[in-house]
Amino acid sequence: MTTSQNLMELKEEQIRAQYSAAVGMLDGFDHTPRIAAKRDAEPARERSSGIGTRRRFRSTTPGLVTRSTARPEGVHLINRIEGADESDPLTSPAQANVLQALRRALAVAHVVSDQYSDQTGLSELLKDNLAGNLTRSKTAEFGELLAASALISLYVFANMTSYLLASTTENSVEIGAVEEVLTDNPSIALHGALWELDQDLSLLAKSEEQLIQVILAYCEKLMEKVALRAATTPRLEPFTAVSYRVEADDFDINGFSPASRGKSTKLTMTFKKPNEVVGNHIAKYQAMKLSKMLMAYDFERQLNPFADLGGFIFTFMGDGKPGTGKTTLIQMMAGMINEYCQNAGYVFRYQNLGTDSIDSYQGKSAQNAKAFINNIIDRRVIGFGTIDDIDQLAGKRGDRQSSAGQLEITAVLMESFAGANTVVRGNCTFGMFSNYPENVDDALRQRAGARFLVDGPQTREDYIDILHLLMGKNHDIPLGDHDLFAAQQIKKAVAASYASHARPHEAGLLEVFDRVHSEIGELDTIAKLGQYLKGIQQADERFTGRAIKNITDAVKVRAMDFELPDEWMENTELFLARDYDTKRNMIAELAQPITVEMVLQEINRYADSEFRYADKSDEIAIENMVREYGRQEEAKKRYLRGKG
């Protein structure tokens, strides 16, 4: 993981240099539809009959010759947009805003396409083609680069147009499917898109409000279509590997993922207070700590001191039996972050990736998962993303029952959580929750840096507390001999929970621990702890280097084993409003040294979870095989009876 992003700023002078070409496209051009059928659209009309038709713009892309045998259809979007309200002869502010957004989006699309051409050598191939010097060996590469450049232009145009206009209307409109997606070259691609947009505006935009709604609906459909096409198009990595930024518009381009403004999610869930979460002491404590950790994020530096110092939880997995409190834990954590953000004036965004994200259309599931990731990692917000029942959502590789859509989601989550381009800024966290973590792909599960065992109430005191809590107040039954919620005092309960991991809980791991301990004595040095880790790996080959990294990350979190004071969250001047370096120093002063007890406890906590998952996974696999053998035997008996 990295703490810096491969970000390239698009200079304002480069964008403005493309304004003339962008206005030329909006003013007028000829286009003969090749895929979409012409609809019963009215031609765009000038406002005044005394002003002649504006000039038409023809493509001047070097190195390309296009020929049309059908009668071209003139497209004049400026006229179309200005005529959206025929009762007013003047251009309204809303119409001017739309035209400016389209001009700016087209200009940025040109700039990004040109930069892609320069990076990939397409610019030189265009010159060779224009001069007639393009060799046959380069023809295939030339065509692939042109197609990639066309898709980039289309997506950037639609993405930025949608971004610039999204805040101007709350309503939406339904339009048909986008069809005229051409990949000959960027110019022809944009001509096709603008032609189809003009068709939709002619049929559906009868007012200024409908004008914006139709453009937004079209851009959304176009982005979806282009993103699906891009999933199978080669030579796009130079574009997807770099993030572009237009500073004046606060607009970022991150591959084929839609940009969104920094606005909060409207939450409708029922929040829970920490005292309403009974049991689950370590999980509750770490969730409370993480909620406050997120608030240390510095929006100016775009980095969290906890991520800088090494004690931040970017991904975690909460597992436990049904009914043990996973949903309650989510409600508690989301409620705490929401309250802190409201007090600090920060934008909070929560989203859950649900099973409705799985789509039968190839590439759509991956697109949904990527949109979820990008929505949460937006560096302008505090983000909390959850993936409930991840065993149903993300497919297990090699499992014949996993659908293509589930495997797409698995691939996206693996790349996003610990891929080469993963950026941990400390402004967001992702929680994966499951009743059956053994059904989660091993590699994806190991990308969860922290483990929250959500095992619900355990002790007599826990069960009395939860009964009292859920009974409510509409009764007069005496409490009896019990100190209410004393067992839920978090620091005392957490200390006891951590101490219990001085020895493993799972039988398989306990056997390894006892064997290594009998051979080398107390595990009180790095060498001895390393030998213990090797013993674990010999018992379970899935215990790899990534597991060691997750353990060391958890140890660093333990070094930050303190809660930021509540008054720091309530009075922003004490901490939140301070500069990055001051916040970093304040946090560093609270850190405690790492001890061998911490390391051993975290090794056992993590390895216990892996052994727990492996045992369940192996047992389920054996049960499935036994069931399959039984079916085969029964089928054989019925077959023989039928033959007899």
pLDDT at 362 over 80: no
Cα–Cα dist 357/371, whole Å: 10
Residue 529 lies in a domain: yes
What confidence tier does 628 reach under pLDDT thresholds 50, 70, 90? confident
Give me the number of domains the chain comprises: 2
> Are 365 and 490 within one domain?
yes
pLDDT given for residue 12 in this prediction: 94
What confidence tier does 60 reach under pLDDT thresholds 50, 70, 90? very low
Residue 265 lies in a domain: no
Q: What is the mean pLDDT of residues 601-624?
A: 75
pTM over 0.85: no
380 or 150, which is more confident: 150
> Which residues in 212-263 belong to E strands, given as ranges?
243-246, 251-254
Q: In the listed set 254, 287, 315, which residue is the last one of a domain according to the structure?
A: 254
> What are the contacts of 248-252 at 24+ separation with CB within 8 A?
248/12, 249/104, 249/160, 249/163, 249/164, 250/380, 251/108, 251/160, 251/163, 251/164
Cα–Cα dist 53/262, whole Å: 41
pLDDT at 72 over 70: no
pLDDT given for residue 315 in this prediction: 92
pLDDT given for residue 54 in this prediction: 38
Backbone angles phi, psi at 457, to 5 degrees: -65, 140
Q: In the listed set 254, 289, 312, which residue is the last one of a domain according to the structure?
A: 254
438 or 244, which is more confident: 244
Q: What is the mean pLDDT of residues 56-85?
A: 60
Q: Is the distance from CB of 568 to CB of 578 less than 8 angstroms?
A: no
Distance in Å from the first CA to the final CA of the chain = 65
pLDDT given for residue 490 in this prediction: 63
pLDDT at 68 over 50: no
Which has the closest alpha carbon to 562: 325, 309, 327?
Answer: 309
pLDDT given for residue 151 in this prediction: 96
Most confident of 140-149, 591-600, 627-636: 140-149
Residue 48 lies in a domain: no
pLDDT given for residue 580 in this prediction: 93
Cα–Cα dist 238/183, whole Å: 18
pLDDT given for residue 15 in this prediction: 95
Lowest mean pLDDT among 101-105, 144-148, 178-182, 445-449: 445-449
Cα–Cα dist 430/314, whole Å: 6
> Are 278 and 138 within one domain?
no
> Are 484 and 513 within one domain?
yes
> Are 293 and 233 within one domain?
no
pLDDT at 582 over 90: yes
> Are 281 and 349 within one domain?
yes
> Are 238 and 292 within one domain?
no
pLDDT given for residue 440 in this prediction: 86
pLDDT given for residue 615 in this prediction: 58
What confidence tier does 275 reach under pLDDT thresholds 50, 70, 90? low
Backbone angles phi, psi at 600, to 5 degrees: -65, -40
245 or 461, which is more confident: 245
- The tokens of 479 are what? 């409490």
Query: What percent of the chain has a predicted confidence (pLDDT) above 70?
Result: 86
Residue 458 lies in a domain: yes
Residue 555 lies in a domain: yes
> Are 416 and 298 within one domain?
yes
> Are 162 and 296 within one domain?
no
359 or 348, which is more confident: 348
What confidence tier does 621 reach under pLDDT thresholds 50, 70, 90? low
Cα–Cα dist 257/231, whole Å: 12
The alpha carbon of 27 is separated from its chain's Cα centroid by a whole number of angstroms, namely: 38
What confidence tier does 184 reach under pLDDT thresholds 50, 70, 90? very high
Residue 497 lies in a domain: yes
Cα–Cα dist 101/123, whole Å: 27
613 or 366, which is more confident: 366
pLDDT given for residue 57 in this prediction: 39
Residue 320 lies in a domain: yes
pLDDT given for residue 46 in this prediction: 56
pLDDT at 24 over 90: yes
Q: List, for residues 466-476, the tens digit of each pLDDT value.
A: 888 778 888 88
- What single-letter amino acid sits at 614? A
> Are 239 and 289 within one domain?
no
Residue 39 lies in a domain: no
> Are 93 and 195 within one domain?
yes
pLDDT given for residue 4 in this prediction: 39
Q: What is the mean pLDDT of residues 414-429?
A: 85
Q: What is the mean pLDDT of residues 328-337?
A: 89
What residue numbers bound the domain in which 221 lies? Answer: 10-31+76-254
501 or 197, which is more confident: 197
Q: Is the distance from CB of 537 to CB of 607 less than 8 angstroms?
A: no
What confidence tier does 268 reach under pLDDT thresholds 50, 70, 90? low
Query: What percent of the chain has a predicted confidence (pLDDT) above 90?
Result: 35
- The tokens of 310 are what? 């090494």
Residue 384, beta-bridge partner list: 350, 429
> Are 416 and 473 within one domain?
yes
95 or 46, which is more confident: 95
Kindly report the CATH number assigned to the domain that includes residue 321.
3.40.50.300
pLDDT given for residue 644 in this prediction: 64
The alpha carbon of 163 is separated from its chain's Cα centroid by a whole number of angstroms, namely: 18
pLDDT at 486 over 60: yes
What confidence tier does 171 reach under pLDDT thresholds 50, 70, 90? low
Q: What is the mean pLDDT of residues 122-142?
A: 91
pLDDT at 58 over 60: no
pLDDT, mean over the chain: 83
> Are 154 and 219 within one domain?
yes
What confidence tier does 82 reach under pLDDT thresholds 50, 70, 90? confident
pLDDT given for residue 618 in this prediction: 60
